[in-house]
């Protein structure tokens, strides 16, 4: 089973998509990777969902990626003794360490780390930015603010602090437990929420120790200032436009999306565009024209994956949402402008042998109009290098490691096949041609280009290129 598009689709599982037959239908409709949101999933449900995804994987015979998305720190105000209050523009409102019930003048802020980080002039955004405050006075026990944008405020509404770097880990105690549980279930990716600084990734890396890829979610302004460092320490990036659009002016988000996408493409790290891509399909069987354009923009820009959140997790039309996204992506990739835009953003290869081989493979494949680029990889690094090149020829990744094939299912244009490592050069050519033929990428008489490393089975040793003919029986010859 092969996809007729390069961009991958990441679908979130939830109440609308827990049953195994729906998960299978989501995969067959176009989902390549499944996201499990740990904000709404206990460990028993996590185990159940992973088992069902793996069962579908066995049925369809293709590696499927699983992403466990950690909740991250949730910052919220306390409670109000008399129910919701209305904050008027220009009024003074205090957030403090007093645990008693709040009123129209003050409320408890159960996060001393926020009070310690605030300074006069900093903004506080409450309830997804609906209420905006400006700090006038700040101390370790209270922050006196002026109401800039007033409105209704009730118990436990969220707090965002776009101007302050909070001295707290991006991982909570719950996240730590969820991460251990996710690794025990063998998930392929873990997503870290509310990353502010490169150091936030160190703790997760210490626990994962390579057992899962680490994906950093960019949803804080502080992360933008250290983007290159965060990309370097991550295995992949997610542009989490929901929270990013709360903490930054909305008009900045499209430009940031392009900037992050291009930075990830240069670095050869997968990038996922997420949040509200087909939001109206939560309750409608067709999307708005603007949503179609939004998905198309991400595909034109060369993002590795586009993501569905509530659309597939809690919406009325989860399968239709995936199918719609698949059709949009497929159509964009057939557009006459698509290849021009993709090629214009291609980065120069790094000064390494493996990068030079990948760049050469792409150029040769396009010059000779070859049927496919076939990469042997153990760790997955060679597959991601091939993906970074964004070749016009299909890319088949052969790996003896199932976990590697699953993880690479997030990478742009990668068709992953689990196969034994080649024992010698003849076996390498033969296996590459046979799989290219059986997977429907190459016909007898066509040629493929093969990249591999000698000695065989040594991770990170890509140093060889071969052009091979596919014979009438699918066998290969140089």
Catalytic residues: 35, 76, 217, 275
Q: Which residue has the tokens 């991958």?
A: 8
Residue among 94, 99, 132, 130 nearest 115 (CA): 94
Contact 100, 108 (CB under 8 A): yes
Backbone dihedral region of 414: left (phi > 0), alpha (psi from -120 to 50 degrees) or beta? beta
Residues 154, 135: Cα–Cα separation, whole Å = 20
* Structural tokens at position 269: 């790290």
Please report which helix (H) or strand (E) contains residue 22, including its range: helix 20-29
Tell me the C-alpha distance between 447 and 450, whole Å.
10
Which letter does DSSP use for residue 73 in this model?
A: -
Q: What share of the chain is helix, strand, coil (3-state, %, to 5)?
A: 40, 25, 35
Separation CA 179–CA 97 (nearest Å) = 31
Distance in angstroms (rounded) separating the CA atoms of residues 365 and 391: 8
In the three-class reduction of DSSP (H, G, I as helix; E, B as strand; rest coil), residue 370 is classed as coil
**Site of tokens 């370790």:** 140
Q: Which residue has the tokens 């101390």?
A: 139
Name the residue among 369, 478, 388 with its Cα closest to residue 433: 478
Q: Classify burial at 40, counting beta carbons within 10 Å of its beta carbon; exposed 0-12, middle 13-18, buried 19 or more.
A: middle
**C-alpha span between 151 and 86 (Å, rounded):** 5
Nearest to 412 by CA among 309, 342, 311, 310: 342
Ramachandran sector of residue 315 (left: φ over 0; alpha: ψ -120 to 50; beta: rest):
beta
> Phi, psi (5° rounding) for residue 37?
-85, 110
Task: Give Cβ neighbours of residue 70 (< 8 Å, ≥ 6 apart).
Answer: 38, 171, 175, 178, 179, 190, 191, 192, 193
Tokens at residue 325, please?
């996204």
Alpha-carbon distance 124 to 145, whole Å? Answer: 9
Q: How many CB atoms lie within 10 A of CB 472?
A: 9
């Amino acid at each position: 089973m092969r996809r007729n598009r390069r961009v991958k689709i990441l679908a979130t599982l939830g109440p609308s998509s827990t049953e195994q037959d729906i998960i299978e239908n989501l995969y067959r409709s176009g989902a390549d990777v499944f996201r499990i949101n740990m904000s709404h999933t206990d460990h028993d449900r996590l185990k159940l969902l992973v088992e069902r995804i793996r069962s579908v994987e066995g049925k369809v015979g293709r590696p499927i990626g699983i992403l466990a998305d950690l909740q991250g720190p949730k910052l919220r105000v306390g409670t109000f003794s008399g129910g919701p209050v209305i904050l008027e523009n220009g009024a003074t409102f205090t957030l403090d360490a007093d645990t008693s019930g709040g009123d129209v003048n003050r409320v408890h802020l159960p996060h001393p780390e926020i009070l310690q980080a605030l300074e006069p002039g900093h903004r506080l955004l409450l309830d997804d930015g609906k209420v905006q405050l400006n700090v006038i006075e700040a101390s370790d026990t209270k922050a006196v603010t002026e109401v800039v944008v007033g409105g209704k405020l009730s118990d436990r509404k969220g707090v965002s602090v776009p101007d302050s770097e909070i001295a707290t880990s991006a991982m909570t105690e719950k996240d730590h437990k969820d991460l251990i549980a996710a690794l025990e279930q063998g998930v392929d990716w873990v997503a870290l929420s509310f990353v502010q600084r490169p150091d936030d990734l160190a703790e997760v890396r210490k626990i994962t120790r390579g057992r899962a890829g680490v994906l950093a979610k960019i949803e804080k302004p502080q992360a933008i200032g250290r983007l290159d460092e965060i990309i370097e320490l991550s295995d992949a990036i997610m542009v989490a436009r929901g929270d990013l659009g709360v903490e930054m002016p909305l008009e900045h988000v499209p430009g940031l999306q392009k900037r992050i996408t291009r930075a990830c493409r240069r670095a050869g790290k997968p990038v996922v565009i997420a949040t509200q891509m087909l939001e109206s399909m939560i309750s409608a069987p067709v999307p708005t024209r603007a949503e179609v354009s939004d998905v198309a923009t991400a595909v034109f820009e060369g993002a590795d994956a586009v993501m569905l959140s509530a659309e597939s997790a809690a919406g009325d039309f989860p399968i239709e949402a995936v199918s719609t996204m698949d059709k949009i992506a497929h159509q964009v990739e057939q557009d006459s402008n698509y290849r021009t835009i993709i090629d214009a953003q291609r980065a120069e290869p790094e000064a390494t042998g493996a990068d030079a081989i990948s760049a050469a493979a792409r150029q040769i494949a396009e010059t000779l109009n070859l049927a496919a680029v076939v990469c042997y990889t153990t760790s997955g690094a060679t597959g991601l290098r091939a993906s970074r090149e964004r070749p016009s020829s299909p890319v088949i990744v052969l790996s003896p490691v199932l976990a590697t094939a699953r993880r690479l299912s997030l990478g742009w244009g990668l068709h992953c096949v689990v196969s034994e490592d080649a024992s010698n050069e003849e076996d390498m050519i033969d296996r590459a041609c046979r799989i290219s033929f059986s997977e429907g990428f190459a016909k007898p008489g066509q040629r493929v280009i093969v990249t591999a490393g000698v000695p065989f089975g040594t991770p990170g040793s890509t140093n060889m290129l071969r052009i091979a003919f596919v014979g009438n029986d699918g066998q290969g010859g140089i």
